[in-house]
Structures are given as structure tokens and as C-alpha cells.
Structure 1
Amino acid sequence: MAGYGVVIPAFNAAATIGAALNSVLAQTVKAETIVVVDDGSTDDTAAVIDAMNLPVTVLRQENAGPGSATTKGFAALSTPFVATLDADDLWLADKIEKQLGYLDRHPATAGVFTHWRTFRGDRPDLPEAASVAGWSRTTMMIRQEVVPTVGPIIDPPGGRGEMIDWIARVREAGFVLAMLDDVLALRRIRPGSLSYGRDPERDRGYLQVARLAMQRRAQNKAGSR
């Protein structure tokens, strides 16, 4: 199988980054490169990673958002495939093997995602809900050529919705994306995380993403006349 690299954006993730990294290292197909981008953490995220003494590259930047951090990680990789993971979440051990196998069998597909389940706190053994399609950073594996074509992941106001926007732009660029039925990732819900609960201030990002998508469609329609 072709080689892949991993990008993990992390902000104040000292409590969860160790488990996330261990789930990457437990993959049945090992990563060539693992990059953690510390997005201006003010906790012990960097110290936790250093103490684990793992084959991980840690890049640091001033706090700019998970999209910016992921984009910085993309630039550090040259592997044929790129997988991404939020620092709160976990991969199941055969996630990468199944995704690489799918992409090998479907060379016209540019990226593949998986289903996932949520869990709370430190109990990944107790997923709370039925599985859903994870159109998310945690479940994504893409071919390297997608990144320079589509451009950076842009963080909207409030810090939510950047992956919805980027995935939409991937499709608009003509790339084919697929979704596996397998549950191959677990999404952690914890207070303080970007995904925790409804928040009008953070949810502004979704409105911005929808607005940008409508503007692109209008521009494309005008250009096709």
C-alpha cells in the first residue's frame, strides 16, 4: 500500500492528545509521518507529546484555528495520501487499512471518509449513539494532489464549519469523495471542545460557510452563461 501521513491540529489538548496519538500508532498500516500542529496551546499539550517520546513532528503557531493548523500540517507532508484527526478523537485500528484499500480499488476517488460514533469523557468503550456518516477531519483520508488544488482550510467566525466549507470546495473542484459504511472512528464530546453543544457565537461559522457556498454557486452560474 502507498504511504500516508497524518495531521493532527491541537489546541489545549493535553488531556486527549496522548490517546489520539496512540490510536494512530495502533493502526494496522503504519504512518510514514505524523505531524501535530500546536495551535497556540496554553496548557501542557506540547509537554505531554514530548514526554511520550514518539516519532512525531510537532509544529507550533500562534492560535489561528483548526483549519489554519491543518493547512500548516498539510504543507509539512509529501506522502501520496494524507489522513487527518482531531486531537479529541480516536481511530479504530483498521481505519487506515480499509481506506487505503478502498482508494487502491477506486483510483478515480480522491478521498474517502468513514462512519463514526460519539462518546463522552474517557469512555470510548461506551459509544452513546448510532453511527453516522462522518464528513469530518477525523475520518478523512485524501490524495495529496487534492490539497494544492483546493487551497487552505479557512476558519470561519466562531471556529466551527471549516471542514464543511473545505469538503464542499473539494467537490466543487471536481474531485470524487466516498463514504465507507464501516464505523472506524470515535468522536469525543467534552466540555470546552469546539464540538460541544450549541453555541450561537461559535455557530456563526456555519452561517458563513453557507453564505460562501451560495456565493460560489452564483459565481459559477454567472460564469457559465
Structure 2
Amino acid sequence: MTRVSVVIRTYNEAAHIEATLRAVLEQREVEPEVIVVDSESTDRTRELVAAFPVRLIVIPKKTFSYGRALNAGFAAATAPFVTSLSAHALPFDRHWLRNLVRPLADPLVDGVVGKTLPHPDCNPFDRRGLLRQYGVVSGYLCDGRIPGFSNANSAVRRAAWEVEPFDETLPYSEDVRWARRRQGLGRYLVYAADAVVYHSHNETPAELRRRFWGESRAREILDPHNPRYRGTALAWDLTAGTLYDWWTLARERLPWHWWPFAWRRRAAINAGRYAGSRGIQLSAEGRLWPNLLRRAWLRPLRFLGSLAGRLAPYLVVWTRKHPRPLHPKHLLGEREDHYWYAPELAGGARALDVGCNVGAHSHFAARQGLAVVGMDVDPRALGHARFLLGWEKMRRALVVQADADRTFPLADAVFDRVLAFDVIEHIADPVHLLAEIRRVLTPDGLLLLTAPNAETTWKKRYRAAGLPFFADVSHRVEYTRAGIEKTLNEAGFAVLRDEPIVADTPAAPWYDLLGAISLKLYARLAAKKRRAALARPADSTGFRLVARKVGK
């Protein structure tokens, strides 16, 4: 008798789990090993599961994803074939499991998907779709054609899963990605029309918005080159789709209460698609409008702020505060707040300024008596740096053109101080950057680093509204406080201290614009932002860190 593992995911499935488990355990001609993966259900689900001879695995709800739950169950499975079954998917007969795994006897087949029929109480629209999607003839699956591979009722060769686990980062469609990758390797997937389950949802509009939001987010990840759902296409689907649903109701002479639901259903589906494809988060109740309204005023606020920030350096030239377009912060003199790392330079002999930009920090380090090498990839910025260092007659500072994404053109263990301000977030491979910094540092040398904070209040608002939330469009990564410290530790550095920078506020670009007009006013505004960051470190724009090289 063939042994087959059955993985069932649950969350508050007390209404269905008993019938599903009973039907699975009554399967004939196979020996089912049942594994239930629960996401901290708050109803009687786990109590009911405990009454059956099955294995129960509980995973935290806050870290749930469909892929993570499946991987937990597959890891616990011991049979060569593993099936995935939704908790409310009821097997049609006692031969469902045998029929589902039978195609896996072919060594070229990695996965099988069974047939899904609607429950008797299914709404007429989902019933119509399921009956159309799942035919009566078995065959091989083709990407982009129905039926598609679905983990609601599927079987997978465990050896194939070990090579290709399910993606735990996707909110939905982990089964679609897995199927595409296996087919891309020349493996076969099969539709088994005789492996039948009853599986359907009578979802509320809020539940529909959440489901199609997740599917749309997954679509953006799986098919980034496909056109995004356009507003006009969604409006057409709402109009034409509702008319089609009404025609179905009229043809089948169904009760009138389905007529208004048909429009609400289509509206919820298309709202979820619109929000998901744009990254607009739904509220806890599944509503779209709160973040849609927030998006309407945050977008112009961010756009105007970006214009103000870009204009500030040029206004510095127009107001004759400096002959070159510099950020106003570089004109405030040697402020303790701006040159926060001054105490760490004491005792140093040679410093490397990675991403030196216009040379302000290279200039300051040279004034402290260190021999400084500044490197940057931008020739225009290096031109400003050479102008600044020549203006100040700094003979202890040298700037060179070099790409921090590549191997540094420098010998090992040359510098006892490395400055990397506003750099790591622009680098494609931060691990390589930190490895190069560590290579050129002497034993016990210091790394002085800044990194942007990804979790400020304003960035969370931008993220919820589906807007770019990085502080700069050129940023490739931003960090949490714990995240940047972990990255440094893994790269061979020990963090000695860290502190916030200034408070994150959408008014910051306007402060810069005012600073180009009045440096005295700008100094007061900068001090205000600094005090706010010290009072609320979680809302700081970023982190200042001092880290020591560990080991040789």
C-alpha cells in the first residue's frame, strides 16, 4: 500500500476540519500520513484536530504565508509523495488520494492537480467559473492555460520539493511560481480529472478585496513585465462583468438577492486588483478608501518636496553662498552635529572616504590631521571635491574615481578609519562593499557609517498608500536598526555605538530650500530636527554607527 503524506493548512476552520480529516483518513488503497499546519487559530480548530490520529504543527500567524505553511508541512512529511489540501476542500470519494498521486508513477511528472467542484451552497458566479475551469479529461498542464496548478488540491513529488521549496515571500500564487520553475526545467505537471474535491468560497466583499489584492501583488512579482491593471480595464470589467453576471442570473432564474451582490462582488474584485497592482494596502477591515485618500494627498506632497530638494543646491549658487551647487548643510561650518564622528578620528593616521561626493567629509578629516583618500564614481562630484580641497589648500587629501560596487583599487590593511556616509543604500551588493571596507581596514580599525531607516512613520504612510517610500529613488535598500547591526556583525564588524540622525519629515526639502536663502534659519531648523530625532529615535531618517573590525 502506497504511503502518502497529506498537508492541510488551517486557520479558524472549525466548521470544516472534522469532515475533511474524516474523508482523508477513509481513503482506500493508500496509507495517508496527515499533517495539519495551523496558524494560531482562535476557534476550536486545534481542539478538533487533536481528536484525530494526525500530526499538528503550529506556526505564528504574524509570519504566515502560504509558502511558509506548506514548507513546514512538507518538511515534516516522510512519504515520497506529498499532497496539499485546503481545510475546506472535501474529497469527493474514497479514491481521491489514489487518483491524485497515480500520475506520479511517471518519473518525469513532478506535480499533479486535481479537479475542483463547487460546494452545494456556492454562489452562482464561482460555481459557473469552477465548472468551466475544470474539465472531465485528464492531461498535461500548460502554463497560461486552464486549469492551472493549485495547492488547494495537489500532489507533489517530495524530491522535487526538496530541490525547489515553495516561495515563502509571495502573498499568493506560491503554487504558480513553483509550477513554472518545474516546467522550465522540463518536468511535467498533470491534471487528474478523477481526483475530485468540493472546494469553493462564499466570500464577503472585504474577503474578495483581500484575496485579489494578494493575487495582484503576486502577479506584479511573478510577471513584472506584464502591464499593470489599468483603471479603464478594471472599470470595463466592472461594467461588462456585472452585466454578464446579471445575464447569468436571469438565464438561470435565480433569486433577486444575487443581483446587488453581483455588482458588489465585481467592485470588490477590481478594487483588490487596483490596490494590489499598485501596492496600496487595505485596512484591517479590508477597505481600500482610507489609503486611497491618503495616496491622493501624499503623492503631490512628495512630488513638490522632491522639486524643492533638487532646487536647493542651485539656489545656493543664485544667492551667492557658494560658487558651486552644494547642499546647504555643507555651508553651516564645522557643526558638532554634522561632524558627529570627530571624536572617532582621534588617534587615526589614514582615512578612506567611500562615496566622498563633493569632499566635505574628506576635507574635515584632513583638517583633523589624517591623510585622506576620497573615492567616488561620479566625475562631477569629484570635480567639486577637487575644487573644494584646492580652495582650502588641503595637501593631505586626495580624491580618485572608483566604483564602490567593485573591488577597491587599494591595498589591504592601509586605513585605520573608513568613512561610508550615504553609501551602503546605493550599492547593489552591500555584503561586497563591507567585505572591501574590511579588507582595507587595519586590525581594530573603525568603520564610520550611516544608513537610512526604512521604518519611520512617514515611510510607513507612503508604503501603505502604494507610493515609493525610500528616501531617494536611487536607494536599493534601506534598513531597520536591528537589520543594519545584523548586516555589520555578519560582515565581521562589532558595533560600538549608534545614534539617530534627524527626524524624518516631509518638510525637510523645504527646510533645505530655506537654508539656501538663510543659513541662520537653516541652522535653527536643523537643530529642531535633531532634537526631534533624539526624542523619537524610531522616526529618525537613519542611523549613525561606529563599528570596529573584528579579527584579522
| Fold-level similarity (TM above 0.5) | yes
TM-score, L = length of structure 1: 0.79
Paired letter, 1:139: N
Paired letter, 2:202: R
Match of 2:57 among 49, 56, 59: 59
Q: 1:153: how far off? A: 3.6
CA distance in 1, matches of 2:150, 2:115: 10
Q: 1:145: how far off? A: 0.8
Other structure's SS at 2:208 match: coil
Q: 1:180: how far off? A: 1.9
CA distance in 2, matches of 1:41, 1:206: 23
Matched, 1:179 2:191: yes
Q: Deviations over 1:55-112 (max 9, x none)?
A: 10001111113322111000001211001101111112211212333322x2211111
Q: 1:11 to 1:197 in 2, by over 3 A?
A: closer
Paired letter, 1:103: L
Paired letter, 1:54: F
> What is the 5 A alignment of 1:52-201?
53-63=51-61, 64-92=64-92, 93-104=94-105, 106-119=106-119, 121=121, 128-129=127-128, 130=131, 132=134, 133=147, 135-154=149-168, 156-157=170-171, 160-182=172-194, 184-191=196-203, 198-199=208-209, 201=210
Q: 1:168 to 1:205 in 2, by over 3 A?
A: farther
Contact 2:115 2:191 (8 Å CA) reproduced: yes
CA distance in 1, matches of 2:66, 2:56: 15
Higher helix share: 2
Q: Deviations over 1:192-225 (max 9, x none)?
A: 7xxx9631x4323223322333359xxxxxxxxx
Q: 1:120: how far off? A: 5.1
Q: 1:152: how far off? A: 2.9
Q: 1:32 to 1:20 in 2, by over 3 A?
A: closer
The corresponding residue for 2:284 is none
Ranges of 4+ aligned residues in structure 1 off by more than 3 Å: none
CA distance in 1, matches of 2:194, 2:30: 20
Other structure's SS at 1:177 match: strand
Contact 2:24 2:32 (8 Å CA) reproduced: no
Where structure 2 has 5 or more consecutive residues not aligned to the other structure, the ranges are: 135-146, 226-552
Quick one: higher RCO (CA 8 Å, sep 6+), 1 or 2?
Answer: 1
Contact 2:166 2:174 (8 Å CA) reproduced: no
Q: 1:32: how far off? A: 4.1
Paired letter, 2:44: D
TM-score, L = length of structure 2: 0.34
Q: 1:144: how far off? A: 0.8
CA distance in 2, matches of 1:187, 1:118: 6
Q: 1:155 to 1:204 in 2, by over 3 A?
A: farther
